[in-house]
Amino acid sequence: MTSTVAHEVAVEAAVERARAAAGWWAGLTARQRRHHLLAFKASIARGVTELASLIREETGKPLAGALLEVMLTVEHLDWAARHAGRVLRRRSVSSGMLAFNQASTVEYVPFGVVGVIGPWNYPFYTPMGSISHALAAGNAVVFKPSEFTPGVGSWLASRWSSLVPEHPVLQVVTGDGATGAALCRAGVDKIAFTGSAATARRVMAACAERLTPIVIEGGGKDALIVTADADLPAAASAAVFGGLGNAGQTCAGVERIYVVDAVHDAFLAELTPLLREVRPGAEADAPYGPMTTPAQPEIVRRHITDAIDRGGRAVVGDAASVRPPFVDPVLLADVPEDSAAVTEETFGPVLIVNRVADADEALRRANATAYGLAGSIFTRRRATGRALAAGLRAGAVSVNSVLGYAAVPALPFGGVGDSGFGRVHGADGLREFSRAKSVTWQRFRPPIDLLTLQPAEKAMRTSLTMFKLRHGRG
């Protein structure tokens, strides 16, 4: 879908309109905002078929995948709307011994205007993780969708405008990277960005000019660990979904699989025929569709070629599987850990299965990456699953499934390392778009007052004695 490009002046104007709308929105009670957001949610749900068709048109993904994207997104919006009042309400905290005469509270206040820069692979689900929680926390939002999926963003803004036309609490500015850079410099109070780690660094540099805080989701190179006692058919089926879903264009999808030696060959025997059955297509009911951007097929081809040239074994498909805009499923085994296919985000339907001696080696290899978004573990033993999940350097982990956390609105989502920082979804997501504000109220004058320019000698002596008794005895 074509769209206009919002240049610097247009972006600044949108932020100014948002600033005025933010004052009205923040002035509402949590219950009033909830009312508006649930009406927004209902409007989206009624338009689910129209929106899913638009997502399919812009990304090429099958209709079922687009419908699932909308349904998951609405669940998170519903949760944010219903729980913001409870999560962000003022609460009392203990003042402690030194300030026992003070009543102390913490409250969470909105930033004001939040800029959201979204990706093309999940053009509704991913940016709405920030948009819904920013709105529920009392902020106005200016959303810059990917230049490949501008229609989804415009559709979303029009739905809000149809409900509350006099208050542009949610606006969309369309364009490429220059529009995103203009948004970072337009005086917003926080930026939420999803994209590559390389682009994230440029966004951070732009935000640094004004010390604008930022939350980043910078992609991943997620691993699936298969232990010796795993349910192999279930693990293989999950690998197919996690690796091929959305043509492999999933930040938290499966790209690397580490299988314990005792079951490696049996796992490959389960996985191989599943991949051979799958063929992408442009049809609405295809298993998966094309690469969404023109550049992506060549990135996938480069990774496959590099892996094979370095000694990797092509089990299903090879570089010839790349036939733009489609890429047939590719399964590689015994791929060197320093190859591009292991170290860089492939973002295509390519699965790498490497043999490891045991679960400990699998964990070491899974963690040997600059990324740390999510991961998966298959094991029948609860203790093993918990131990591996605890050791996995990632923001989210699924045991005996893949992407299980994506459907749980109460769970926060975000990564570490090159996968970014900050969280969306859940209570952490609501607080991500709020500022904690501390307030104390002196109830009575303290009998021993040290908060004065020249404390009394007796007061200081007594306080010092109490301090040593309280803290100096180990």
- d(CA 330, CA 433) in angstroms, rounded, equals 40
Instruction: Quickly list DSSP for 94-150.
Output: --TTTTTTEEEEEEEEE-SEEEEE--SSSTTHHHHHHHHHHHHTT-EEEEE--TT-H
Instruction: Quickly list DSSP for 217-265.
Output: E-----EEEE-TTS-HHHHHHHHHHHHHGGGG--TTS--EEEEEHHHHH
Extract the tokens encoding 286.
Answer: 């295809």
- d(CA 79, CA 136) in angstroms, rounded, equals 10
Which DSSP symbol is given to 419?
A: G
Q: Per the omega criterion (within 30 degrees of 0), is the bond before 325 cis?
A: yes
**In a 10 Å sphere around its CB, with 0-12 CB exposed, 13-18 middle and 19+ buried, how is residue 366 labelled?**
buried
The position carrying tokens 């927004």 is: 40
Residues in CB range of 102: below 8 A, 6 or more apart: 95, 440, 441, 442, 443
Among candidate residues 69, 251, 255, 344, the one labeled active-site is 251
Residues in CB range of 130: below 8 A, 6 or more apart: 114, 116, 141, 192, 194, 215, 424, 429, 433
Please say if 217 is a catalytic residue.
yes
Which DSSP symbol is given to 320?
A: G
Among candidate residues 217, 255, 344, 432, the one labeled active-site is 217
Is residue 300 within 8 Å of residue 325, measured between CB atoms?
no
The position carrying tokens 């993904």 is: 61
Please say if 251 is a catalytic residue.
yes
Q: Which residues are catalytic?
A: 217, 251
